[in-house]
Amino acid sequence: MEKFDVIVVGAGAAGNAATYTLAKAGLNVLQIERGETSGTKNVQGAILYADALERIIPDFRDDAPLERHIVEQRIWIMEDKSHVGTHYRSDSFNEERPNRYTILRAQFDKWFSGKVRESGALVINETTVLELLKNDAGRIVGVRTDRVGGDIYADAVILADGVNSLLARKAGLREEIEARNVALAVKEVHFLPQDVLESRFNIQEEEGVVIEIAGTITRGMAGTAFLYTNRESVAIGIGCMLEDFKGSGVSPYTLLEDLKNHPSIKSLIAGGEVKEYAAHLIPEGGYKALPKLAGDGWLMVGDSAGFVNAVHREGSNLAMTSGRLAAETLIALKTAGKPATAANLQAYVEALNDSFVMKDLRKYQHVPALLEEKQFLTTYPTLLNRAAETMLRVDGVDKKTKQRSALGAFVQDRSLFGLMKDTYKLWRAFR
């Protein structure tokens, strides 16, 4: 009977982080990935948060395929033909060890998988895990794959198999994720000459810009859009809650086409050659939608566990951190000679609770529900943009009259009190 210390299912950010950490500590680890190579099934915007990876591979910058480090963050509130917004740009981000990078997932995951193999883990691709194996007491003791004689055993199994977490559902470890707790996002990668890209975004070589977008572009559905600069390409995408897509009849690709044709975006991607299109699900239910995270012989990490901070658009850092903490929990148990029982694996949950992962998810647990209120994505963006146009248009009308006109638009729409009330709610949720 073939047996490992740990089996990791999945080769995304969380699965790779867990496998690498385990193997570096000397454990006998098997990682199983259904894709032809690691990364072929993974989709993301994609932003890499250096701190999370640095805690796993301190010298990752030496050879990781990084696109650009981010020096400027823009936030846009869109209306049909305009946007209002803010941005922060700092030369401090041109530091020796930058904090955030844009990456191309296929290249980055291939690199990460190489590091996993170098660490001593056994990685098997093009293999599907059909189900989790249980003993008579109900403890998870391994996995059943689609290979001949495909039952493989382990002291513990880490589930990093993605947002749907089919294995956990089939084994009765979690409920099916609800449509109101998951977003469907689509993205394209538009390739541009490097000098053209840098000129358009006013950046130097290796510098990058992130634009996060909300407003009428999602047609009242709860969602956001983004644009990230890579070395010779721009990643642009949009996503909304799956429940809203089902109710609206609007396709994600229609929203993406609208976004690309918006006057604020069109000139930024003009002349680009589209070489990549992808769609993926994102768990955005937040803290209240988290499943059970560990049990007898198993742990759940990354998207499988719902670890996405939708408010701050963070995911890969939560994934890598949860994978690392799961691995460190199992390493400690192995060192102490203790079994991976449900009681012992609570140390993983406690480690998560002490980390930024759970602290952030708990802090902003009420925000996702607030942002589902339609006025945030319909009425308020329209009124803010029109107020800006009124104040900035010089047409012989005095400024006091213009102020009254802008304020009157909010009053006429009966939105002034609502805006004040909703702003207070957001402040309470964020503080």
pLDDT at 418: 58
In this prediction the pTM is 0.90
CA distance 45 to 404: 42
Q: Is 69 exposed, middle or buried (0-12, 13-18, 19+ CB in 10 A)?
A: buried
Query: 337 — alpha (psi -120 to 50), left (phi > 0) or beta?
Result: left
* pLDDT, tens digit, 9 for 90 and up, residues 216-241: 999 989 899 999 999 999 999 999 99
CA distance 173 to 321: 22
* pLDDT, tens digit, 9 for 90 and up, residues 287-317: 889 999 999 999 999 999 999 998 888 999 9
pLDDT at 256: 96
CA distance 208 to 228: 8
pLDDT at 166: 87
- Looking at the DSSP bridge assignments, the partners of residue 185 are 239, 280
CA distance 59 to 111: 13
Q: In sequence order, what E strands does 293-369 have? A: 294-295, 298-300
Give every CB contact of residue 387 below 8 A, 6+ residues apart in sequence.
Answer: 406, 409, 410
pLDDT at 325: 98
Those residues of the chain that have pLDDT short of 70 are 1, 38-45, 366-373, 406-431
Q: What angle do CA 369, 374, 379 make, to 5 degrees?
A: 140
DSSP conformational letter for 81: S
